[in-house]
């Protein structure tokens, strides 16, 4: 079975002006959480060298960079709330739609005006037309709890490469039985940490780039503590942040390298939630901050995210199917081989899964 599928775009997020960092926000707070690895997990050292031994986890698995956590949260938020397609060079180049196999989806072009940002650009930041917007959400580093050193497993041989949307049989679909075609949505990966798949030993592609690398990963069962600070979120943005962090029962995140191979399954649970009325604190109120912990925090989060949990749209149904943990069952997870693509150039993703699921 193919290790990925797509979450439909759904409705695009309305665009509006962010609140600005030059004025006092009305609210802010910090969310503290615990992240547990559900299978092998890897975020690599930045100075790794391909071909010089197995690539290892950053700081030997002692930390998870805040930037990696921010990217994971943003990806989920974009899927749930219809954020712009901000980071896909295969669809947009310098703000212009360039994908020739399907019509441009309405309302999803990258934000190009700092005064007109989609919900995820307002929350997580944007660089429209040379301007810069910092965003309203700031995840900190995840830090390994006991033991002091992470258990490292592997090596695994995994493929590193870019998406191949030019194989449009997988990436586009017809609409209303017409000749019009639309992109299928945003790519996401199934969980299968008990079935780690490996590529063949490292080799060079026809264009000379190495396709397969050797990596080691943090083992399952490790726990990290992390915190996410936020300031100036409105009610919808705050609820979206909580959902992007904690999802809902039966779902888990994918984070880091090797997602197609089964790496990167992690679960996040709340430790505490603090919400501060910044105007009240500025005026000296002793009750400016409200805090809840443990089960009370989980109940608070469930209440604020109930609207998303009750959303049974096609977009949310696909998200739940892909992020379900334990995930879909397959005897063999793998990408199609080059020979399969040559023999079946027009076969859809569903046809491949029907034959190889």
Helix or strand or coil: residue 261? Answer: helix
pLDDT of res. 332: 80
- The angle that helices 66-81 and 314-323 make with each other, rounded to 10 degrees, is 140
Tokens 């034959």 label which residue? 355
Peptide bond into 39 cis (omega under 30): no
Q: Which helix (H) or strand (E) holds 74?
A: helix 66-81
| Per-residue pLDDT tens over the stretch 297-339 | 999 999 999 999 999 999 999 999 999 998 777 768 888 888 8
| Residue 199: both structure tokens together | 């590529």
Distance CA 37, CA 151 (A): 12
| Residue 191: both structure tokens together | 């969980």
pLDDT of res. 87: 64
Q: 70 in a domain, yes or no?
A: no
| 177: confidence class by pLDDT, cuts 50, 70, 90 | low
Q: Which of 162, 6, 166 minimizes the C-alpha distance to 102?
A: 166
In the predicted model, is pLDDT for residue 52 greater than 70?
A: no
| Per-residue pLDDT tens over the stretch 222-246 | 999 999 999 999 999 999 999 999 9
Structure-model confidence comparison of residues 282 and 2, the more confident one: 2
Structure-model confidence comparison of residues 334 and 209, the more confident one: 334
| Residue 130: both structure tokens together | 């040379």
| 206: confidence class by pLDDT, cuts 50, 70, 90 | very low
| Per-residue pLDDT tens over the stretch 97-136 | 888 888 899 999 999 999 999 999 999 999 887 789 999 9
Residue 102 contacts residue 179 (beta carbons within 8 Å): no
Total domains in the chain come to: 1
Distance CA 136, CA 239 (A): 13
In the predicted model, is pLDDT for residue 31 greater than 80?
A: yes
Distance CA 182, CA 198 (A): 32
Rg (CA), the chain: 21
pLDDT of res. 217: 95
pLDDT of res. 140: 96
Q: 112 in a domain, yes or no?
A: no
pLDDT of res. 74: 96
pLDDT of res. 208: 34
Q: Which of the residue ranges 148-152, 241-245, 257-261, 337-341 has the most confident prediction, judged by mean pLDDT?
A: 241-245
pLDDT of res. 205: 45
Helix or strand or coil: residue 4? Answer: strand
pTM of the model: 0.92
Distance CA 287, CA 46 (A): 44
pLDDT of res. 207: 39
Q: 76 in a domain, yes or no?
A: no
Q: 74 in a domain, yes or no?
A: no
Number of other residues whose CB lies within 10 A of the CB of residue 290: 12
| Per-residue pLDDT tens over the stretch 262-302 | 999 999 999 999 988 877 777 777 678 889 999 999 999 99
Q: 121 in a domain, yes or no?
A: no
Residue 267 lies in domain = 23-64+136-356
pLDDT of res. 209: 43
Q: Which of 78, 76, 77, 70 minimizes the C-alpha distance to 141?
A: 70
Residue 124 contacts residue 74 (beta carbons within 8 Å): yes
pLDDT of res. 15: 96
């Amino acid at each position: 079975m193919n290790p990925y599928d797509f979450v439909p775009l759904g409705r695009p997020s309305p665009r509006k002006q962010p609140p600005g960092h030059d004025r006092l926000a009305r609210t802010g707070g910090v969310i503290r959480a615990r992240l547990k690895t559900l299978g092998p997990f890897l975020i690599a050292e930045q100075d790794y060298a391909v071909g010089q031994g197995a690539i290892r986890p950053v700081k030997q698995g002692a930390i998870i960079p805040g930037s990696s956590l921010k990217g994971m949260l943003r990806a989920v938020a974009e899927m749930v709330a219809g954020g712009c397609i901000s980071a896909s060079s295969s669809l947009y180049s310098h703000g212009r739609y360039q994908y020739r196999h399907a019509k441009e989806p309405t309302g999803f072009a990258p934000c190009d005006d700092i005064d007109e940002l989609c919900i995820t650009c307002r929350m997580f930041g944007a660089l429209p037309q040379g301007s810069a917007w910092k965003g309203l959400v700031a995840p900190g580093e995840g830090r390994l709890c006991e033991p002091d050193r992470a258990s490292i497993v592997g090596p695994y041989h995994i493929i590193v490469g870019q998406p191949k949307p030019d194989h449009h049989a997988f990436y586009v679909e017809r609409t209303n039985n017409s000749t019009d075609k639309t992109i299928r949505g945003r790519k996401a990966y199934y969980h299968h940490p008990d079935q780690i798949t490996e590529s063949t030993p490292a080799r060079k592609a026809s264009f000379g780039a190495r396709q397969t690398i050797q990596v080691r990963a943090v083992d399952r069962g490790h726990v990290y503590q992390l915190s996410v600070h936020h300031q100036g979120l409105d009610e919808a943005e705050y609820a979206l942040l909580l959902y992007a962090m904690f999802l809902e029962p039966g779902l888990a995140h994918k984070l880091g390298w090797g997602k197609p191979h089964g790496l990167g399954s992690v679960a996040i649970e709340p430790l505490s939630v603090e919400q501060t009325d910044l105007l009240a604190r500025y005026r000296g109120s002793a009750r400016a901050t409200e805090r809840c912990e443990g089960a009370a925090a989980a109940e608070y989060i469930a209440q604020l995210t109930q609207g998303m949990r009750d959303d049974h749209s096609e977009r949310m149904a696909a998200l739940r199917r892909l992020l379900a943990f334990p995930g879909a069952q397959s005897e063999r997870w793998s990408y199609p081989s080059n020979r399969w693509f040559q023999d079946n150039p027009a076969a859809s993703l569903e046809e491949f899964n029907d034959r190889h699921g």
